[in-house]
């Protein structure tokens, strides 16, 4: 009978604290706690998948129960250590929280907690994926977790600590396991290759380590598959064939085509990759990771590791990031990420990938556009052929001073040309050229002959003209509100008061808004030539008739009319065949109303 094969992740599982790669901080803390006798009753290990949480829990249980433990390190030779390593020790229970998540399972655990351990010093309960327990199960565990028997320890492992109730978290010592670096994974994979008797290229080890994305177990699973797939000598080409990914030179060539806007070449490179067996999903992931590396290079973070290509391609990434610019790279990465998200829900993923590549090739030089916008906001007029001249010249500059420095003019909105040096195709966006102005002397701003802008004379009696000027300057609802003001009055040397009728209270509230007040005072300062403050008051409506203090009871006068004199009533009589009309005249002693109430019989 042939012996059963055991996967690498189980055969080379860490057995001591020092063998857990990338978690030295957690290992040292647990060793010190055991050595000094400061072991808590409950621990929570949280982190990404495959970073050593369950392995650390087993090692911790061995260090607690090993009779030959030294400085917190188990011997791994005694019966207790061997039983815990294979998960068969009677005093160390490993519970799967996903399949034992109900309240009945926790009740069974509570009943067994008070039973004394068989042969070890401590009873240890390791609950994996503890976040899968139900709310009722967590509540049933609270009291036992808070006051367990003195020789019982709990170790909870989870990848989603946010789903664990706060009442549980507050009763545990929490340890966060970080992802494992690519270099540490590469070192570990090299050790496994030597132990298995395989010769693996460094480029192949680096590819597997990057693909694992910080998970040691994922890297070992991929490496185990690679050893079964390849021969005794494994190269990077074997890894690409296994994973369905593209080599580094294919990625760099595709990005060069996008930067130079060779859309045809970019689509051909994508087609060639798919024909050679590259999987579309894996290739899209590689492109997203490549744009991430370009983003890192554009930001100048040289110490941050690359995810898509090897370190030998860092110089190429640096050159491409300088040619493209940070803004363009960020926009292209966003386009790819959106396309990747949409590809998971449709059956036409290739069309979306091709659309994303074409959209990226159409991106303008966004960094250059940002510079132009910043120049415009700073008061600089940029032309396409002529030099850029500041709008406002410093008044203190003398006639003999040299003119301000000129800015280089961009050629077009699209700052690059095609690789052959020819102009862009006619469907590309090209900014219109501005004719160059004839050269001439720069006018002296101190010249007294220059026409000065006249200022409005600030004096009583000019309020009507001032109201018209302000209303003309405001072309929105604020201007309409100014026109509806009944009057304007100059109060004091620098205050203008607006009188708003009571029946236009909405207009007054519009003018009293802080932004509108700022606009009004800015216009007044520009027109008058001095700072002016505005204020508003409510006034009686123009032509409003005061209500009588006392109104007498109306007197009714009623008469029957066969043929009314009113033309409208005559038309109604003819249309509807009304025979007669009863007319009531309401007469009031104080105020006589002109309205007449009529009704037909």
pLDDT < 50 positions in the chain: 1, 381-454, 541-553, 587-601
Q: Is 526 in contact with 566 (CB distance < 8 Å)?
A: no
pTM: 0.59
Same domain, residue pair 78 and 60: yes
CA distance linking residue 504 with residue 541, whole number of Å = 9
Query: 396-424, pLDDT tens digit by residue?
Result: 343 333 444 444 444 433 444 444 444 44
**Residue 389 φ/ψ, nearest 5 degrees:** -120, 135
* Residue 560, in any domain of the structure: yes
For helices 280-298 and 263-275, angle between their N-to-C axes, nearest 10 degrees: 130
Specify whether 150 is located in the same domain as 217: no
Take residue 338 and report the two structure tokens written for it: 């959106």
- Cα dist. 592→544, 548, 553, 599 in Å? 17, 12, 11, 20
Domain with residue 482: its CATH number is: 3.30.300.180
Task: Tell me the C-alpha to C-alpha distance, in Å, between residue 345 and each of 274, 283, 439, 537.
Answer: 20, 17, 61, 62
Last residue of a domain, one of 490, 507, 539: 539
What DSSP string runs through 131-192?
GGS-HHHHHHHHHHHHS--TTEEEEEEES-GGGS-HHHHTTSEEEEEPPPPHHHHHHHHHHH
Q: Please indicate, yes or no, if residue 223 is contained in any of the structural domains.
A: yes
The CATH number of the domain holding residue 186 is 1.10.8.60
CA distances, 423 to each of 26, 198, 235, 377, 419 (Å): 61, 55, 44, 30, 10
Of 224, 242, 260, which residue is a domain's last? 242
CA distance 262 to 580: 91
Residues 238 and 248 in one domain: no
Residues 577 and 494 in one domain: no
What pLDDT is stored for residue 31 in this prediction? 92
Q: ∠ at Cα 200 (195, 206), nearest 5°? A: 110
CA 467/CA 82 separation, integer angstroms: 96
Q: Indicate whether 166 and 194 sit together in one domain.
A: no
CB atoms within 10 A of CB 116: 9
Report the pLDDT value the prediction gives residue 375, as an integer from 0 to 100. 65
Task: Note whether 179 and 51 are within 8 A (CB).
Answer: yes
pLDDT of 287: 95
pLDDT of residue 377: 65
Provide the residue range defining the domain that includes 264.
Answer: 244-366
Domain count, the chain: 5
Specify whether the CB–CB gap between 282 and 244 falls below 8 A.
Answer: yes
Half-sphere exposure of 349 (CA within 13 A, CB side): 16
Residue 3: per-residue pLDDT:
56
Residue written as tokens 């390849």?
Answer: 230
Is 169 in the same domain as 256? no
Note whether residue 23 is domain-resident.
Answer: yes
Rounded CA Rg of the chain: 42
For 449, the token pair is: 């002959």
Is 577 contained in some domain?
yes
Separation of alpha carbons 512 and 481, rounded Å: 11
∠ Cα 298 281 350 (to 5°): 100
Q: Which two tokens stand for residue 464?
A: 């009507």
Same domain, yes or no: 191 and 110:
no
Helix axes 280-298, 248-259, angle to 10 degrees: 70
**Is there a domain that residue 379 lies in?**
no
Distance CA 259, CA 316 (A): 13
Report d(CA 44, CA 28) in Å as an integer. Answer: 16
Same domain, 27 and 73: yes
Residues 479, 545: Cα–Cα separation, whole Å: 28
Burial (CB count within 10 angstroms: exposed 0-12, middle 13-18, buried 19+), residue 283:
buried
Residues 227 and 284 in one domain: no
Give yes or no for a contact between 525 and 531, defined as CB atoms under 8 angstroms apart.
Answer: yes
**Shared-domain flag, residues 152 and 225:** no
Q: Are 466 and 503 in contact (CB under 8 A)?
A: no
| Residue 450 domain-assigned (yes or no) | no
Query: Which of 539, 567, 588 finishes a domain?
Result: 539
Same domain, 38 and 144: yes
What CATH number is given to the structural domain containing 336? Answer: 1.20.272.10
- Alpha-carbon span 36 to 40, nearest angstrom: 12
Domain containing residue 75: CATH number: 3.40.50.300
Among residues 175, 183, 184, the alpha carbon closest in space to that of 31 is found at: 175
Q: What is the largest CA-CA distance in the chain?
A: 126
In a domain, 1, yes or no: no
Residue 400 lies in a domain: no
Residue 378 DSSP label: T
Q: What's the confidence (pLDDT) of residue 419? A: 43
- CB of 208 closer than 8 Å to CB of 216: no
Task: Mark whether 106 and 58 lie in a shared domain.
Answer: yes
Helix spans in 493-561 (H): 505-511, 514-528
């Amino acid at each position: 009978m042939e012996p059963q094969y055991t996967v690498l992740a189980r055969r080379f599982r860490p057995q001591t604290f020092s063998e857990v790669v990338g978690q030295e901080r957690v290992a040292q803390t647990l060793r010190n706690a055991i050595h000094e006798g400061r072991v808590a009753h409950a621990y929570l290990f949280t982190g990404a998948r495959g970073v050593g949480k369950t392995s650390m829990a087993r090692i911790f249980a061995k260090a607690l129960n090993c009779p030959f433990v030294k400085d917190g390190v188990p011997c791994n030779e005694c019966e207790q250590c061997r039983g815990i390593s294979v998960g068969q020790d009677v005093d160390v229970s490993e519970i799967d929280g996903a399949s034992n998540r109900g309240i009945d399972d926790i009740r069974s655990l509570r009943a067994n907690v008070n039973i004394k351990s068989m042969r070890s010093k401590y009873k240890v309960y390791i609950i994996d994926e503890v976040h899968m327990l139900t709310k009722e199960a967590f509540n049933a565990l609270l009291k036992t977790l808070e006051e367990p028997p003195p020789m019982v320890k709990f170790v909870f492992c989870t990848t989603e600590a946010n789903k664990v109730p706060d009442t549980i978290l507050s009763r545990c010592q929490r340890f966060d396991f970080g992802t494992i670096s690519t270099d540490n994974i590469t070192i570990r994979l090299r050790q496994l290759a030597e132990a298995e008797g395989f010769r693996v290229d460094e480029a192949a080890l680096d590819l597997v380590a990057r693909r694992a994305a910080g998970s040691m177990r994922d890297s070992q699973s991929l490496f185990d598959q690679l050893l079964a797939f390849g021969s005794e000598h494994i190269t990077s080409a074997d890894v690409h064939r296994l994973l369905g990914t593209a080599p580094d030179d294919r990625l760099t060539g595709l990005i060069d085509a996008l930067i130079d806007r060779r859309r045809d070449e970019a689509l051909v490179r994508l087609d060639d990759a798919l024909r050679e067996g590259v999987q579309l999903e894996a290739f899209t992931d590689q492109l997203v990771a490549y744009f991430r590396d370009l983003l890192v290079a554009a930001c100048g973070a040289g110490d941050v590791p690359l995810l898509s290509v090897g370190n030998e391609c860092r110089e190429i990434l640096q050159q491409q990031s300088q040619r493209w610019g940070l803004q363009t790279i960020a926009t292209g990465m966003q386009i790819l990420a959106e396309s990747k998200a949409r590809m998971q829900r449709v059956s036409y993923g290739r069309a979306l990938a091709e659309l994303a590549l074409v959209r990226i090739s159409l991106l303008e030089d966004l960094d250059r556009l940002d510079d132009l916008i910043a120049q415009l906001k700073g008061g600089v007029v940029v032309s396409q052929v002529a030099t850029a001249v500041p709008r406002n010249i410093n008044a203190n500059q003398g006639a003999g001073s040299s003119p301000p420095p000129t800015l280089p003019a961009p050629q077009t909105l699209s700052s690059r040309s095609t690789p052959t040096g020819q102009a862009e195709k006619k469907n590309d966006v090209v900014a219109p050229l501005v004719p160059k102005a004839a050269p001439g002397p720069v006018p002296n701003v101190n010249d007294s002959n220059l026409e000065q802008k006249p200022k409005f004379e600030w004096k009583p009696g000019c309020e009507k003209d001032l109201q018209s000027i302000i209303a003309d300057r405001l072309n929105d609802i604020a201007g309409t509100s100014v026109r509806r003001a009944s009057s304007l009055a100059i109060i004091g040397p620098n205050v203008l008061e607006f009188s708003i009728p009571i029946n236009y209270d909405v207009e007054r509230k519009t003018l009293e808004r802080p932004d509108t007040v700022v606009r009004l005072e800015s216009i007044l300062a520009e027109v008058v030539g001095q700072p002016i403050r505005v204020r508003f008051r409510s006034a009686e409506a123009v032509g409003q008739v005061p209500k009588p203090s006392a109104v007498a009871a109306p007197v009714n006068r009623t008469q029957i009319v066969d043929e009314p004199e009113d033309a409208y009533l005559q038309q109604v009589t003819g249309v509807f065949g009304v025979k007669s009309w009863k007319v009531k005249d309401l007469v009031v002693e104080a105020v006589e109303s002109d309205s007449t109430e009529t009704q037909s019989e």
